[in-house]
Structures are given as C-alpha cells and as structure tokens.
Amino acid sequence: MGRIILWLLAAWVVITIAGAVIEGVFWLAVIGGVLFLGTAAYGAIKTNRRKGIKGP
C-alpha cells in the first residue's frame, strides 16, 4: 500500500510541475496540487491507524 501511495504522490508532483511549466495549462497545476495533498493526507491517516495513533 505504501508503494502505491508513493507512486501516486510522484505522479501528482509531475502533473503539478507540468502544469506550472506550461503556461496555458494552469488548471493542471491546481488539480495536481489538490490530488497530491489528498493522497498525502490519505497516506498519513492510514499510517496513523496502522500504528494505533488516534486522531483529533
């Protein structure tokens, strides 16, 4: 599961950078950033649950 999350994070970073570099595709950078944050949050929540750490 961890490898999948890392691959997704890497994909979102590539999409975000591509959107930032290509001026006409700003929305791609926005979508990539949102997906990156969502995947990172999901991975953090899953990791905390596995370790038995309770959230707020």
- At 56 the pLDDT is 56
Predicted confidence (pLDDT) per residue in 36-47, tens digit: 888 888 888 887
- At 55 the pLDDT is 53
- At 50 the pLDDT is 61
Domain boundaries, the chain: 2-46
Nearest to 18 by CA among 38, 40, 33: 33
Check: CB of residue 20 under 8 Å from CB of residue 1: no
- At 33 the pLDDT is 80
Predicted confidence (pLDDT) per residue in 1-56, tens digit: 678 778 888 887 887 777 777 766 777 777 778 888 888 888 888 876 666 655 55
How far apart are alpha carbons 50 and 24 in whole angstroms? 42
